[in-house]
A and B are shown apart, each in its own frame.
Chain A
Amino acid sequence: MDVQRRNNVTVTGNPHGPTVVLAHGFGCDQNMWRLTVPALVKDYRVVLFDYVGSGRSDLSAFSETRYASLAGYAQDVVDVCDVLDLRGVVFVGHSVSAMIGVLAAQMAPERIGALVMVAPSPRYIDDEGYRGGFSAEDIEELLDSMELNYLGWSAAMAPVIMGNAERPELGEELANSFCATDPAMARVFARTTFLSDSRQDLNKVSVPTLVLDCTQDAIAPREVGAYVHQAIPGSTLLTLDATGHCPHMSAPEATNEAITGFLAGLR
């Protein structure tokens, strides 16, 4: 198994610097980090990858069973660390990847030395004594939205993603092809993400951890960020003046500053 090809691993930055792994969340791929990477490349070795089923990963490696749990995605992280023989990396995970990083750190403690959790949520659906912000019906609605936006995907997008040389015009024509994903696999990722409950894993984190939340985030509201911070012993919470769920896209300077500040403190 060629993990580097499977997970479309990209290694960039300073080969002599400490390693930072940037992990994308649900909805897109490693492209999401394009405003973050420039802030890191001078001092750090930067590893990017796509989870199997996302971006330019090897879709044939997808397994509905494996990726029905966050542990399956965490195994991708461990596999990438194994193949590059990374030790003590700083794992920066956006959204669901923040929790995937928590699981990966449990699975391979020697690989992960610190965590940056960008807009994390250990559980999206409300529970007794816990407000995640969503009901189970909301999640079904999201799946419907996804499905409607994937109409005609398999006919039009599949050749692009598979690199169909016979129909090169497709790559030009489709505007929103950036984060295009196979709908069936995206659906699995959505379900796994939004139905997950990793609250019990938070207090097992034993590495330095920075929690970043946003002033206005419809997916991971501030009380969830505070919950994560309280549950992880010794963690630092920083609220970014940013709107939306993707501060690394909407407020890149503030996000980069927070990450590089945390990284500098580790050295």
Chain B
Amino acid sequence: MCRTGQQSDPHDADDEKTSDAAFAALLEDSAEELYECAPCGYLSTLMDGTIAKINTTLLDWLGLNREAVVGRMRFTDLLTVGGRLYHETHFAPLLRMQGEIGGVALEIRKADGVRMPVLASSVVKHGATGEPLLIRTTLFDARDRRAYEEELLRARRAAEEAQRQAEADRARLQDALAALQSSLLPDTLPPIPGMESAAHYRTASPDRLGGDFYDVFRLDAARFVFFLGDVCGKGPQAAAVTSLTRYTLRAAALHDPDPASALTTLNRVLHERYSSGDPRYCTAIFGTLEPDPVTGQVTVHLASGGHPPALVLRADGTADFLPTPGGLLVGILPTARFTPATITLGPGDTLLLYTDGLTEARTGESRTDLYGDEALRAFATDQAGRYPQAVMKALTGLLDSFGDGLDDDTALLALGVPASGSREPA
């Protein structure tokens, strides 16, 4: 055990003041005594770990006497088995490489079997020619600190577990949203005699339900119905409107397939349902397809309620918007007017419907420009004459190229009449 203040002052200081005597008492704290009784463990070992010198503090911690340790034990013998493994795999190699290592958490095993956490630092002493001579190691009592660190570790593990849980929940939510989203869209497009079709839906965020929708279905022996639109807003409320819109349009088409009538029915339903409190509305293009098996041409009747105009890609390599001006948003007013239009698609022609997620994608270095109608028309012109599938593939590539510039969901629907002379699918 370290005892201090036992020896008397060897120097006679009878003429000195009391404060000087106190200071002199401090000076008696010799380097040797400081080594032995320092508030930390000191240890010198040969390069093979054999303990050559150890201080009293460390011996007291260990409950061992000097004779049992010096020349008989290695540093690793003082450690727990886990600590020994760590020493061999991390501590010793790093010490060799760096010549020193600091603040490593280890545990020493006391004679009575109790473990004591310590922080170990070592430095290699080199001889005159640079050869390693011995290792000096300091051990600090880390019991209080270890308790605190274990608390931190527990908190960190809890936080990591919570994060894992949150990520799993998020994945489940995304799965559920994806299933719900797909329930708002047709699984596949029905085959239309004499026509080809392709559709694509791009979700801007897997965490949010989008409000875009499209559908194609058979009306009767000669006609098909299609529609595509965009419900204002996002999330579950928008999805509910989307669902109502899709099934209302399907039912309305069976009742009266005239495009303006179908949109009028939808307008009444949405307005009635949402006029009080939380107004909800949508934009949509609704139309019918009437293929003529004799001529191979398809007559398209459509009407628009506030939706961006469809594009018509012609076999001759041109592309133009199909204007439907003046159509109102669907569901916002008790009565609304919708703009009808009629076109004929010949072999090689394709009708392209889209939502504004495409034209309002942010582009440019700073993502401040919008893609815009004119860029889309130019892009469509390049695609004119191709199969709907090829056009769709080019458009999905375009969406990919927007990267994080795509803020909003995008729905795309291409309906075309294949021609023998048309360019092959890409």
Task: Point out the residues of chain A lying under 8 angstroms from B93, CB to CB.
Answer: 27-28, 32, 179, 246, 249
Indicate if A142 sits at the interface (CB-CB under 8 A): yes
The answer on a CB contact under 8 Å between B48 and A216 is yes
Please name all residues of chain A whose beta carbon is closer than 8 Å to the beta carbon of B88 when the two chains form the complex. 27, 217-219, 244-246
Per the bound structure, the CA–CA distance linking A243 and B51 in Å amounts to 13
Q: Which of A61-69, A144-152, A225-233 contacts B (4 or more CB under 8 A)?
A: A144-152
A138 to B84, CA, bound (A): 10
Q: Tell me the bound Cα distance from A31 to B96 in angstroms.
A: 11
Inside 8 A of A218's CB, which chain B residues have their CB? 76, 84-85, 87-88
- The minimal Cβ–Cβ distance linking B228 to chain A, given in whole angstroms, is 40
Minimal beta-carbon separation of A145 from chain B (angstroms): 4
How close is A119's CB to chain B, nearest CB, in angstroms? Answer: 9
Q: Does A141 contact B (CB under 8 A)?
A: yes
Residues in B with CB closer than 8 Å to A179 are 90, 93-94
**Central interface residue in B76, B85, B94, by most chain A CB within 10 Å:** B85
B94, B98, B106, B146: most-surrounded residue (chain A CB, <10 A): B94
Chain A's interface size range is: 35 or more
Residue numbers in B under 8 Å from A34 (CB-CB): 97
Cβ–Cβ < 8 Å partners of A148 in chain B: 105, 146, 149-150, 153
Chain B residue at minimum C-beta to C-beta distance from A27: B89
Closest chain-A Cβ to B243's Cβ sits at a distance in Å of: 40
Which listed residue, B92, B107, B146, touches A245 by the CB 8 Å rule?
B92
Can you name the residue of chain B whose Cβ is closest to the Cβ of A249?
B96
Min Cβ gap A245→B in Å is 4
B217 at the interface (CB under 8 A from A): no
Q: At the interface, yes or no: A26 with Cβ under 8 Å from chain B?
A: yes
Does the CB pair A146–B86 fall under 8 Å?
yes
Is there an interface contact between A145 and B92, defined as CB atoms closer than 8 Å? Answer: no
Q: What is the distance, in angstroms, from B251's C-beta to the closest C-beta of chain A?
A: 50
Confirm or deny: B78 has a beta carbon within 8 angstroms of a beta carbon on chain A.
Answer: no
Q: Does B100 sit within 8 A of A, measured CB to CB? A: yes
A178 touches B97 (CB 8 A): yes
| Pair A140/B97 contact, Cβ less than 8 Å | no
A178 and B93 CA atoms in complex are apart in Å by 10
B82 touches A250 (CB 8 A): no
**Does B80 touch A at the CB level, under 8 Å?**
yes
Give Cα distance in the complex from A138 to B94, angstroms: 22
With a CB–CB cut-off of 8 A, which chain B residues contact A246? 88, 92-93, 96
Measured between beta carbons, the chain B residues less than 8 angstroms from A250 are 47-48, 92, 96
A25 within 8 A of B: yes
Chain A residues in 8 Å Cβ range of B84: 218
Given the known A-B contacts A148-B149, A218-B84, are A249 and B97 also in contact in the complex, defined by CB atoms under 8 Å?
Answer: yes
Interface residues, chain B, CB within 8 Å of chain A? 47-49, 74, 76, 80-90, 92-94, 96-98, 100-107, 146, 149-150, 152-153
Top 7 A-B pairs ranked by shortest CB distance?
A141-B82, A27-B89, A243-B48, A145-B86, A245-B88, A142-B85, A138-B81
CB<8 Å pairs between A and B, sample of 13? A28-B89, A141-B80, A141-B83, A146-B90, A148-B153, A151-B153, A243-B48, A243-B49, A245-B88, A246-B93, A246-B96, A249-B96, A250-B96
A interface residue numbers (CB < 8 A to B):
25-28, 31-32, 34, 95, 134-135, 138-149, 151, 175-176, 178-179, 194, 216-219, 243-246, 249-250
7 further A-B contacts with Cβ under 8 Å, apart from A28-B89, A138-B81, A250-B48, are: A141-B82, A143-B82, A145-B106, A175-B101, A178-B94, A243-B49, A246-B93
